[in-house]
Chain A
């Protein structure tokens, strides 16, 4: 493999989905023994581009060259044959099988060699790249980080030397991220070409050799990592200079609004999703919730909103128990939830309905009996579109056709317009570009100034530390600590996310 030959060279790649141009004339190269970061805001076309490399999508135009040969990657099988392996954001593993079974699945290896030889081979690859895995362990017994390791082994086992990782750190604690990065460096040393997709600047700076930046489906530039910094990258990514500070207005301490004591909630499978959770939240305060995905955030939101059954404990809102009340009663009392699930439209909005009908969701019961009155909802929809600069052809467009940022504005806008006294918001900036994210932070701060108590479930620790007053950390459904955001560090929270209990707790009587 001569140095002049790129592991992958993309020329003029174009891909459209209906009227949406996801990739527009994109150029990108990566060499063996190099880590390339693919940086761009959500919706800038990173994943689409990589899916074309792994054979899931097919480009509408442009060419793909692998090791100097132009190729057409028609299926994931072709991608494997070319030595390209992708580690997807959402793992594609069979839960009930062991690590080694998942690794060999779909290859002919099982028939060729025995279990022992297979284990030996997997251990050999693990050793080479510094991965730690027990080949016999079942997937359902694994942590997220272990599952990711299996995914990586899976592609390495298939002989991939061009690896694509799609937002690999989104589900990891800071410590786990560091471990992943050392594995990636090992791969680089072994001569692999690595492409890492991310929108986190500090990670780009920490791991990559070069950065290719996408903006709105176009490649706007490639820079060497050593010659750039976070500010310059943001400018390239957003297209203009951006102030990266989040405001944290000081508000006078109001009396406690929400008190949660010894809250235990079971998930759908009957396991404890939340165990003995206790915290309080005052009006005019933003309480952040940090934790690896699936640590009980969803159940916490649903318990407060009356959607999940409370096993033990109590939730007091304005000194009154809301356990056992119906969601309708809880909405009436002034608790408002805007939960952005992973698929963004699963709860809170009806994807096939337009903005007007989504406004109706919380208010349709008011007004004349029996007859549905669309007028106030239409007015509200028009008001929100103007006030939040929602980008939509008109208020009659189904929300599924709106971009992620606009969908979130619709959802959060509706919740805020209902004048809540408690706002539960989960991942409100997930999938948003930087500009929209800041609009959302401003909206939340505006509510905070009005004395609304806000429970903010977040994923980006930097944002949590800047925006929130206090941060509660969840790990496996338990509170590992509540910290003062001004004094806390990312490392401290990271350790708590991994299960280490905080000493000298603040504002938590559990």
Chain B
């Protein structure tokens, strides 16, 4: 029998804090906890603003004012600008929700958006003589097809060879981006000597509705359509099952490969629509700055909203207000507009942290002594 020199020293005290899994919170409490996370995020952002020498309350007031209150001449101008920021972000976030629901990590919304923009631009540049409505519908379809095909590539490789979709979609972003550069100085060059693509004909531009290009109507319609597709269609059900367990999906007789391909096409197509709307509604041309980074920001939005289309719309609103308002913040308080990035980061951080508290709670040594 091996003799023990039992040192109960390290086993004599209980750890001060332990983390235990809590019972599943009801929806109401979980919502409350998330709301608290949002308030705390604003408070933490406030400390940051304070450190930069400004009054956080004043700064937040300016942000909200800047996003909603326009100039005397055009009182709606600020809201319109906010909406313009929101439209592509909303559409891309919705597009990502399809892929994420299937646990397909599509980091390639930027590329899919660009591919959609390129396809749409082709018709805007080369077939601008078509009837206005027909041209716009064609550009819309082309945008969806371009984004969809760009999304299909990583899906094809995934189901055929089991490639990692995260890296694959990410890399495709750069291929799409630099393809614009090629077009700028190559086949689609506008003016000799300048690496840029010509402005679209008036015929290829989205009409204004309520002072903003028609894209906002498309975006709102997509919110409802995405919700219906994900929650009330057979396809949506398949996506959920595949996302939870491919083995279960196959067991249930689902064609997993087809579902992955189909869903990634849709995900990319929705992002492609965002690209079409940007070129046709805002830029009136195709340039390398077309995405404005919404392809990445959309990932944050989709996750914060837990893939619920209506919540995605809400989060997009908050982010767009922050972004529009921060521009004003810069001119009024001299705080760099990069402040939005910081705030968004803080909000994301607090929301992710809050998920931990939804699932776990802490038990302190003292408390236990009392209860036992």
Interface string of B11-27 (1 = CB under 8 A from A): 11111001011111000
Taking a contact as CB atoms under 8 Å apart, the answer to whether B247 and A346 are in contact is yes
Residues on B with beta carbons closer than 8 Å to the beta carbon of A327: 250-253
Bin the interface of chain B by size: 35 or more
Taking a contact as CB atoms under 8 Å apart, the answer to whether A58 and B18 are in contact is yes
Closest to A397 in B: B24
Q: Please, how many angstroms separate the alpha-carbon atoms of A368 and B148 in the complex? A: 27
Closest to B9 in A: A81
Q: Does B163 contact A (CB under 8 A)?
A: no
Residues on A with beta carbons closer than 8 Å to the beta carbon of B20: 17, 60
Which A-B residue pairs are the 5 nearest by beta carbons? Answer: A328-B253, A18-B23, A61-B372, A19-B23, A159-B2
Taking a contact as CB atoms under 8 Å apart, the answer to whether B232 and A372 are in contact is yes
Residues on B with beta carbons closer than 8 Å to the beta carbon of A77: 10
Taking a contact as CB atoms under 8 Å apart, the answer to whether A326 and B255 are in contact is yes
Q: Does A188 contact B (CB under 8 A)?
A: no
Taking a contact as CB atoms under 8 Å apart, the answer to whether A350 and B248 are in contact is yes
- Set B4, B244, B247, B368: member contacting A61, Cβ < 8 A: B368
Residues on B with beta carbons closer than 8 Å to the beta carbon of A12: 372
Q: Please, how many angstroms separate the alpha-carbon atoms of A185 and B137 in the complex? A: 82
Q: Please, how many angstroms separate the alpha-carbon atoms of A326 and B20 in the complex? A: 44
Determine how close the nearest CB of chain B comes to the CB of A434; give it in whole angstroms. Answer: 28
- Set B13, B237, B245, B250: member contacting A360, Cβ < 8 A: B237
Q: Does A73 contact B (CB under 8 A)?
A: yes
Apart from the given pairs A74-B11, A353-B244, A364-B238, 20 other A-B contacts in the complex at a CB distance below 8 Å: A17-B21, A19-B23, A61-B368, A61-B372, A66-B6, A71-B11, A74-B10, A74-B15, A78-B11, A161-B2, A326-B253, A328-B253, A328-B255, A331-B252, A337-B251, A347-B245, A347-B247, A350-B241, A371-B233, A372-B233
Residues on A with beta carbons closer than 8 Å to the beta carbon of B15: 58, 72, 74
Closest to A19 in B: B23
Taking a contact as CB atoms under 8 Å apart, the answer to whether A82 and B2 are in contact is no
Provide a sorted-by-A list of 11 A–B residue pairs whose CB atoms are within 8 angstroms.
A58-B15, A60-B363, A61-B372, A74-B15, A307-B250, A346-B245, A361-B248, A371-B234, A372-B233, A372-B234, A401-B24
Residues on A with beta carbons closer than 8 Å to the beta carbon of B232: 371-372
Residues on B with beta carbons closer than 8 Å to the beta carbon of A82: 4, 6, 8, 11
Q: Please, how many angstroms separate the alpha-carbon atoms of A95 and B77 in the complex? A: 67
Q: Please, how many angstroms separate the alpha-carbon atoms of A307 and B18 in the complex? A: 43
Q: Please, how many angstroms separate the alpha-carbon atoms of A58 and B11 in the complex? A: 12
Taking a contact as CB atoms under 8 Å apart, the answer to whether B235 and A72 are in contact is no
Q: Does A349 contact B (CB under 8 A)?
A: yes
Q: Does A271 contact B (CB under 8 A)?
A: no
Q: Does A83 contact B (CB under 8 A)?
A: yes
- Set B1, B371, B372: member contacting A161, Cβ < 8 A: B1
Q: Please, how many angstroms separate the alpha-carbon atoms of A372 and B255 in the complex? A: 17
Q: A17-B21, A60-B371, A371-B232 are in contact. Are A161 and B11 (CB under 8 A)?
A: no
Interface string of B337-372 (1 = CB under 8 A from A): 000000000000000000000000001000010011
Q: Does B240 contact A (CB under 8 A)?
A: yes
Q: Does B71 contact A (CB under 8 A)?
A: no
Determine how close the nearest CB of chain A comes to the CB of B143; give it in whole angstroms. Answer: 24
Q: Please, how many angstroms separate the alpha-carbon atoms of A159 and B253 in the complex? A: 52
Taking a contact as CB atoms under 8 Å apart, the answer to whether B234 and A305 are in contact is no
Interface string of A336-374 (1 = CB under 8 A from B): 010100000011111111000100111011000011100
Q: Does A43 contact B (CB under 8 A)?
A: no
Determine how close the nearest CB of chain B comes to the CB of A420; give it in whole angstroms. Answer: 13
Residues on B with beta carbons closer than 8 Å to the beta carbon of A73: 11
Taking a contact as CB atoms under 8 Å apart, the answer to whether A348 and B251 are in contact is yes
Q: Does B146 contact A (CB under 8 A)?
A: no
Interface string of A59-89 (1 = CB under 8 A from B): 0111000110101111001100111000000
Tally of contact residues, A, Cβ under 8 A: 55
Interface string of B304-315 (1 = CB under 8 A from A): 000000000000
Determine how close the nearest CB of chain A comes to the CB of B359; give it in whole angstroms. Answer: 9
Taking a contact as CB atoms under 8 Å apart, the answer to whether A69 and B8 are in contact is yes
Q: A60-B368, A71-B11 are in contact. Are A81 and B6 (CB under 8 A)?
A: yes
Interface string of B215-243 (1 = CB under 8 A from A): 00000000000000000111111101100
Taking a contact as CB atoms under 8 Å apart, the answer to whether A58 and B14 are in contact is yes
Determine how close the nearest CB of chain A comes to the CB of B315; give it in whole angstroms. Answer: 22
Q: Please, how many angstroms separate the alpha-carbon atoms of A19 and B23 in the complex? A: 5
Residues on A with beta carbons closer than 8 Å to the beta carbon of B18: 58
Taking a contact as CB atoms under 8 Å apart, the answer to whether A347 and B251 are in contact is yes
- Set B14, B24, B237, B254: member contacting A357, Cβ < 8 A: B237
Residues on A with beta carbons closer than 8 Å to the beta carbon of B368: 60-61
Q: Does A190 contact B (CB under 8 A)?
A: yes
Residues on A with beta carbons closer than 8 Å to the beta carbon of B7: 81
Determine how close the nearest CB of chain A comes to the CB of B352; give it in whole angstroms. Answer: 19
Instruction: Please provide the chain A residues from 134 to 174 with a CB less than 8 Å away from any CB of chain B in the complex.
Output: 159, 161
Q: A81-B6, A81-B10 are in contact. Are A361 and B234 (CB under 8 A)?
A: no
Taking a contact as CB atoms under 8 Å apart, the answer to whether B4 and A361 are in contact is no
Interface centre among A81, A161, A349, by most chain B C-beta atoms within 10 angstroms, is: A81
Taking a contact as CB atoms under 8 Å apart, the answer to whether B248 and A72 are in contact is no
Q: Does A191 contact B (CB under 8 A)?
A: yes
Taking a contact as CB atoms under 8 Å apart, the answer to whether B12 and A71 are in contact is yes
Determine how close the nearest CB of chain A comes to the CB of B206; give it in whole angstroms. Answer: 30
Taking a contact as CB atoms under 8 Å apart, the answer to whether B22 and A18 are in contact is yes
Residues on A with beta carbons closer than 8 Å to the beta carbon of B233: 370-372
Closest to B238 in A: A364
- Set A78, A83, A328: member contacting B10, Cβ < 8 A: A78
